[in-house]
Amino acid sequence: MQDDRYSLLSSFLTEARRSRFETVLDERMCWVTAVTEDLYDPHNISAVLRSCDGSGLQSAHIIEVNNPYRVSPGVAKGAAKWLDIERHQDTTQALRDLKSRGFAICCTTPHTNDTTPEDLPIDRPVALVFGSEGPGITEAARAEADYFVRIPMFGFTESYNISVAAALTLQTVTRRVRSATQIPWRVPKREHPRILGDWAERTVKDADGLLHRLRNGADDNPHGCPKSEPKTP
């Protein structure tokens, strides 16, 4: 069934917001995704999600073995609502599921000299795995890794904070992917109606109620005048 949410809700968005949706979606990336493994600080998870959105990723995966996911609104700045977030309770199952979708599992760690964000192979989709604060990636993640990614360090400390490491790694890898003209990195057109529908539904006030009324012929906006601003910034 065709997703009709955006066509029904678009008139409740300002022209500027609709234009922004189209511009951002045209740059959205499916070739790279990010995975956080059991982070316990909600500020760090939210910062990683903000970097995902800023880097143009459409999806992110959160593994919650011992620490449930909680968003930190002041840090995320609303980034979570623009992403497709999948939550998992088991590291092995999560990473094997990503492998079955064609992703190479790339675990970030300062302790293994394998490759760097500048040299990581990007000839197939990449899932960048960021481990918990302190311990880093688990043995379960190590067992599924196709590559280990290390950010070069030149000082006394051995690693960056997880949110900084994620931002640096994502910026480098996504820049390289965008520059590789032979890679079909953009989100497929067939996914656009769903994503636009998600964005509109998360933006328009009382979207569920509006959709119900519009689908039943009670059009609250017969003249197509934008009436609703975003729920959150």
Please say if the pLDDT value at position 230 is more than 60.
no
pLDDT interval class at 72 (50, 70, 90): low
At 169, list the tokens. Answer: 């790694």
Q: Bridge-partner residues for 130, per DSSP?
A: 36
pLDDT above 80: residue 192: yes
pLDDT at 222 over 70: no
Give residue-wise pLDDT tens across range 89-147.
999 999 999 999 999 999 999 877 789 999 999 999 999 999 988 888 999 999 999 99
Here the tokens at position 16 are 């500027």
Global pTM reads 0.88
CB atoms within 10 A of CB 156: 5
Sheet holding 104-108, edge to edge: 84-88, 59-63, 32-37, 126-130, 104-108, 147-149
Banded model confidence at residue 225, pLDDT cuts 50, 70, 90: very low
Say which residue, 230 or 62, is predicted with more confidence. Answer: 62
Write out pLDDT tens, residues 37-49. Answer: 999 888 899 999 9
Domain ranges of the chain: 1-28+191-233, 29-179
Q: Spelled out in words, what is the top-level CATH class assigned to the domain 29-179?
A: alpha beta
Phi, psi of 28 (to 5 degrees): -70, 140
Q: Which pLDDT score, from 0 to 100, does residue 158 have?
A: 79
Question: Using CA of residue 140, residue 144, residue 147, residue 149, what is the dihedral sign?
Answer: negative
